[in-house]
Every structure is written in C-alpha cells, then in structure tokens.
Amino acid sequence: MQRLRRIYLLLLSGFLLTLVASCKKDQATIQTLPFPQPVGTGVTVTLHPESAGSKIPESFLGFSYEISALTDSSFLSVNDAVLLQLYKNLGNGYIRVGGNSSDELVWTGGPRTSGTGKDSLTTTDIDGFSAFARATGWPVLFGLNLGEYNVSKAVNEAGYVAGSLQGSLSAFQIGNEADLFHDNGLRASSYNYAEFRQEWENYFNAVRAVQPSAPFAGPDVADNQAWIDSFSMEEHTKVGLIDGHFYRAGPASSPSIVYQTILAPDAGLTTYLTTFLNESESYSLGFRISECNSVYDGGKTGVSNVFASALWALDYMWTVASARGQGINFHGGTGGAYSPVVRSSGVWSARPEYYAMLAFKEGAQGSLVPADAGFGSLNASAYASINNGIEFLTLINKDVQPIAFTVLPGINASQVQVMRLTAPSYTDQDSVSFSNAQVDAGGNFTPGTPENYGGGSSFIVNVPAGNAAVVIIR
C-alpha cells in the first residue's frame, strides 16, 4: 500500500511540475510589454465611442467572379477544401458572379455535354456553383445576361438559378456595366439610360411574373453616377440593394500607373460613395460595391499583386464602411494580378489583398466609432469600431516615413493588443503577413501572438512606413 502511495505521489508531483511549467510558458506567451517610445512623426488619434454610429455588416467582405468561371467544374468546386477554408477564414461574406462574361455567355437551359463550348452557360455549371455557394454559407448576387437581350432566356435562367441556389440567392443583377454597353459593342453608340431602364424593367416584370418574390439589385454600373441617381429614384421599390463598381485606376496597360498611384489620396472615391449614400438613405436601401479592385482590366503586375495593394485595399474597405456601405466584392479569382487568392497549377495561394481582408475582419467589429486625427500632409488613415465594450482601431501608414500614433482611447483601457499587417517593402509579394502569421498550404490561417501591453489613458503605437496595425483596446 505504501508503495502504491509513493507511486501516486510521484505521479502527482510530476503532473504539478508539468502544470507549473505550462503556466510559466503561457505567461511568457502573453507577457505584457512596456509601451514603446515614439518613433517617427507624431500624430494623436482620439476615439469617441460615445458617438458610435451604424453597425458594420458582418457580411461586408466579398469576392466577385466572371460568370465564365462557372464553366470550369474544378473552380468554385464544393470539393475544393483549400478554397473553402480561405472563405472560412474571413467569416461571413457575399459571392457575386457576373462581369463582362455574364453578358456574353449564352444560357442553354440544359446540361453541359462534350460538345458544349465555353461560350455557353449550362445547368451543370449552375448546379456545381450552387453546391459550392451553399458550402460557404455566403449569399450570392447573380448577373443575368442583358447583353444578348433575350427576355425568355433570362426568365428561364433566373428560374433555374433560383431553384438551384435556393436560400443562397441574395439578388439578381440585370446586365453588367450597362453604362458601357455603347463602348463594348453590345449596343449602339446612342444607347442611354432610358433604353437601359426599359430593358431592365422588361426583364424584371417577366421574371417576377413567374417568380413573384424574386429579389433584385441594381443598377450594377461601372461608374456613372447619373445612372445611379436615376435608377434609385425610379426603381427603388423593385430592388433590395443599390450597387455599382469601383476601380482605383486603369487600364492595366497604362505605363503611368505605379504602386504609388493606388496609394495616393482619392477624392473621386469620396464623391462616388457620397452619391451612393445619398441615394440609399433617400430610399431606405443599403448599397454595395459589387465589383471592385485596384486596377481594371485584370490588375497590373507590380501594383495589384504587391504589398501596396494590401494597404490600398484595407484603406478602401474602411472608406466604404465609413460611408455606411454594406460591403465590397473584390473581382478576380481566375487569374489577373488583382486576384486576392489565386490558383496556379492546382495550388492556391493568398495574395497581399487577402491579408488586408483578414486585417479588416479583425478590426471592423461592431459599430463605427469616430477616430479624430490630424494627419496634415501625411498619407495615413485611422478608423475605429466598438463591439461589446472593446475598441478596435486600425492605423494605416501609406507614407514614406514612420508615424508614432498617440492613442487616446474612449474607454478605461486595461489591456492593449497590436496585430500588424506588414511586409519588407511596398513591392513585396511573398512575405506579407498579418499578426505574425501567413496562410498555409491548406488555406488555414491562425493569427500569431499579438503584441500585448498594459492599459492607460493614452499610449503609443509606432507604425513604420508602408505598414498597418490593428489595435484592440480592452
């Protein structure tokens, strides 16, 4: 009996030693650091949670694809575990399928056969995509072909898509960038908004005659603010969402576009978002940028696929959120320099823009909070939100010099954590990370240990040139 007791005591002693060692390791992992001394130009950021505004939608993030991507059965496949994981990392979001090809591919109304060309869209394509969409749990914006202008085909296509997607269908869009139809050969040079509206209504009425509750969004224009104004005024009772597109620059072939181009302040975006906000508030509708990215025509190598694009994307998403937009859908996926994630030789990899999406997801929680800062001539931004009493502050330094942010939180801070979006340079492609972590080969992303600090009525966060940080204040 005494021998058994000694064995028991030895085992208990070993367990306690292991437990103590484990606790010491955990304490080392979450060791509280002293706040750093300021490095760089000083900027004070003051948070005002008492003036918290609208809630940031949990489904703000999104991807946009050409509808031609659906003709490749291996792409957007329910069997693609890596791509599904890349979606899962981002939480909730929206999938939009449309693009120029939505006005070019011909709906067959039947299954894909060995003789079906890539210029056709089939029931097989829709069913494969629907299985993928349901697996992600993300609702879908689906573009109907207005380029061909065939009402009966559109009714048939809409009926099949709705039945296949079931609860995953968020809304139909009619035509992609119809304000450019006169430029791309789909309509005569005289094509105008009045003609588009009549065609849109013909589609809408015909689909609704068969599907009385079919959801719609519009006008899905390239950038024509006059069309947004007119459509919102005349069709707001028929849609649940106002939407349009945005690209920071283009075309990709322009030699004048460099990475500094997309990092420069963009007054045009502010004006564009003001148009959306005014119209959406006038008619109690939300708005979404259903297709967007850095440089149109596929993105530009050295601009859209480097770390500068992550800083642009993070600032852009926050700008849309601050204008009370419902979300964005980054276009790409099947290739092009601007795709947030890309598949090469069957292997998926995350590009810089994807890391910006991870950073936005972490920092954009709950309701918008004013973050007052005087940047002067510095090219930098500060955005904030609050959720369950926790403040989230995103600091973006697009300048060529470091910035020392003095943060005045709006709560009694007892703990501060900093998660950084970083890379060695603006033009880096492969060493981008968020919170000291990268996406692995299986598509998984696990944030590394953040910088942990104590609390205080104010504190310093240093952000080097060409970096960003998400600050969590408890």
- Counting other chains too, the contacts that 389-392 makes at CB distance below 8 Å and 24 or more residues apart are 389/474, 390/365, 390/366, 390/472, 390/473, 390/474, 391/47, 391/49, 391/472, 391/473, 392/362, 392/363, 392/364, 392/365, 392/366, 392/470, 392/471, 392/472, 392/473
Nearest C-alpha neighbor of 46 from the set 425, 469, 411: 411
Q: Which CATH number fits domain 62-363: 3.20.20.80, 3.40.50.1860, 1.10.357.10, 3.40.50.300?
A: 3.20.20.80
Nearest C-alpha neighbor of 294 from the set 328, 244, 330: 330
Amino acid letter, residue 394: T
Question: What residue spans define the domains of the chain?
Answer: 31-53+367-473, 62-363
Angle between helices 352-363 and 307-322 in degrees, nearest 10: 40
What separation in angstroms does the CA of 250 have from each of 246, 276, 293, 300? 11, 22, 10, 9
Encode burial over 291-314: b for 16+ CB neighbours within 10 A, e otherwise: bbbbbbebbbeebbbbbbbbbbbb
pLDDT at 263: 98
CATH architecture of 31-53+367-473: Sandwich (2.60)
Q: What is the pLDDT along the chain (474 residues), one digit of tens a residue?
A: 444 445 444 444 454 444 444 444 444 456 899 999 999 999 999 999 999 999 999 999 999 999 999 999 999 999 999 999 999 999 999 999 999 999 999 999 999 999 999 999 999 999 999 999 999 999 999 999 999 999 999 999 999 999 999 999 999 999 999 999 999 999 999 999 999 999 999 999 999 999 999 999 999 999 999 999 999 999 999 999 999 999 999 999 999 999 999 999 999 999 999 999 999 999 999 999 999 999 999 999 999 999 999 999 999 999 999 999 999 999 998 778 999 999 988 899 999 999 999 999 999 999 999 999 999 999 999 999 999 999 999 999 999 999 999 999 999 999 999 999 999 999 999 999 999 999 999 999 999 999 999 988 999 999 999 999 999 999
CA distance 32 to 35: 9
pLDDT at 30: 63
SS3 sequence of 32-88: CECCCCCCCEEEEEEECHHHCCCECCCCCCEEEEEHHHHHCCCCCCCCCHHHHHHHH
Under 8 Å between Cβ of 303 and 36: no
pLDDT at 333: 84
